[in-house]
Structure 1
Amino acid sequence: MTVTEQEITDYVGRVRAALADLPPAVRDELSEDLPEHLAEVAAEADGSLVDRLGEPEAYAAELRAAAGAPTARGRQVDQRVAAAVARVRGRLRGLDARLGPPLGYATASEFLRLLRPAWWVLRGYLAAMLVTVVTTGGGFGLLPRLGGEFLAGLVMLVGFVLASIWLGRRSERLRGWPRWALHAGSFVLVVFALAGLANAEDRAGYQEYGYDPIAVNNPYDRVRDVFVYDSEGRLVENARLFDQNGDPIRLGYPDCVDERDPNGNPLLRPYPYCPDQAPFAPRAPVGAAPPALPPLPSPTPSVTATPQPTATATAGPGATVSPSGTPGQTVSPTPSVTG
């Protein structure tokens, strides 16, 4: 960027306006050689005079301070602030020039200008994510959502990115409060991005065994091992659990070393992880017979009496026999004779 004569004239005019409270002779003496000095500064390197020397008001404050000229009471505080700003800007320009060569450019700001399109896209994404957080009450993922709707969030993202690019291409033309509003909005988005990164780091943090439980208030989050017993009360080893879809169920995490495969994946081990820690019975030795269980009590039969048959025999005319007996016995009738 080449500094024009009009820019030099405008800069000199603003410096003289900042020195308007001084006597005309003092003001003319301080700004007498200023146009020639500005032309020499402009010829040394590219960049505007404001970028090289700071704002004209700050430069006027430096001239005033160097000459020991008196300051107006109403402008004394403003001049001190302007001088402080000028010193800070000077140090930043020096730092900018020192960081440029390691990056392969004359100044670091020249390298950062190449990254502005990427920042425009990122700024639109951060704005969409900020709206997502506001509309969803704090919950968000990697992609924005508008009122919880994914498609509406994508439309909002595209619109914000295009608007950010449009503002970025015209930011150099902004002056006054629109420029300050754009910088303030960018600062808010940067703070929001840092807070989001910190939150993501906390959510992805590693706990005691390398993973973070997903469920909240899960009744099984304190399960460390699973012990399966059969109907005989014997511990079942090498057991695996599956749901109705055939997917394996994983509960707990082993706190003992597998003697058979010390370097294996603990989450691929069958249940129980630690058989020696069975809660109801000690682990049976390898190859030992299962413990003998007491026999079940046999049921007591109930006896039901069978009634004995009664036989009635009649022998001869006029004779009546009423014997009583049991099956297998011979009944002999006794005749009764009537004469």
Structure 2
Amino acid sequence: MSTEKPTAVRVYLARVRTALADLPAGEVEEILEDVRPHLAEMEAELGASARVEALVEGLGTPESYAAELRAAGGYPAPPPGGDGATEVLVKPAAPSPVAPRIALWGMVTVALGMALLAFSAAVSVDPDPLVGVLVLAPVFAVSLWLLMRRGIQSVLDLPEVGKLRESMRTWREGRGERSAAYLGALTPAWWLLCAAVLVLFGLLLMVRNTYAAALLPFLVVAAVAVVWAGPRTRRDRRLLWLAVPISAFVVGGVFGGLGAAIEQIDNRGSYYAGNASYSTPATDDYGNQQLSYGDEELRNVYAFDSDGKPLKDVYLYDEQGRPLTITRYGCEQDTGTTATRGSDNRFPRPKIVEGVQDDRGNLDGYNSSRSYCREDDGVPFAAAIPKPGSSTPTPSGTPSPGTPAPGTQPSGAPASGTGSGTASSTQASAPSTTGSPAKPAPPTR
């Protein structure tokens, strides 16, 4: 520093010392030792030719800065009757803090809103959530107007801002000058990163939605603005109203982009895994696995032999020898409802029929009020079994020439000439359980 012409930092520091002149000299020196590192950073940024007004714009007046240090250290207020500069410090809060507080928290609200909107747009790769910027615009306008009307100093004098600045100063001192210098060196890279993310964000939205091209010019303007305003925020704190919301937008967009990337990776893994039912076995309310045919759950299976006769007590297994065990249901006579009967792989099972009945035993009538349940054995349908060498079941019409009619008597009497309907009825009502003479005898050797 020049000894002939004091720099702005030295002048600023001298005025801080003057404002603290009523305190013991040792304590004043201790306070100034804590302040010097921060002022040294400001001196490096502003340069040797900077004026005191630039420091005042960035940090507030030396007197207000001294008052902030006095309050943070728990020192008493200066006695009345001091110099003019000190009297200004004793009563700095004469103007109402409402407007500065609205300006401050309006900016914070806009920053949080921008982060949420960017996150929503990025995670869904959809520009529609960005319409919410129109809601935040009036809040930002009011906050900026109050800032320009009352000045940055009124905001810096707020108690919450003072506590924040003190916390940051304590953190800086706790981490040492090297950490503070390292973070300060990364600041220019952050503003360039913000600009790059804004442009890439607009291009990504254009890939999925062509109408998002209308947003690209605004994002480019924001990128230029943050590169211009970001490095100047240390000298002009008013530019924080521009840099902070844009930075919050970038942070929200980055986290949303990471979420979208994770979702894409997960969807790709699900695609390769397929949608096979065995990948996630379906279970019923009792924890047993379910049988299914396509998307339909099966509760019963009927088996038939080659002659179309139903089979009973069939036990089902899969190709690996595992029993196809599912829950068995039955009727609860006391309540007339369905109840579980354990689980097994034996089929077919009785068909469960539920309904309501009245006091006279009439089922499913208008006056029915009591539940009933019954188990119907047997097969509730007729199965047409394909004949060997045929892909379709043989119709139950008039038998072909030379073939005995199904259901004929062993006496060999000719079939009734009443038509195919009679033959079908006879076959359905009296199936033969012994060897039928109508079948050809096996060839002899």
Q: Same fold (TM over 0.5)?
A: no
TM-score, reference length from structure 2: 0.32
Structure with greater strand percent? 2
TM-score when normalising by structure 1: 0.40
Which gives a bigger RCO, structure 1 or 2 (Cα 8 Å, sep 6+)?
A: 2
Higher helix share: 2
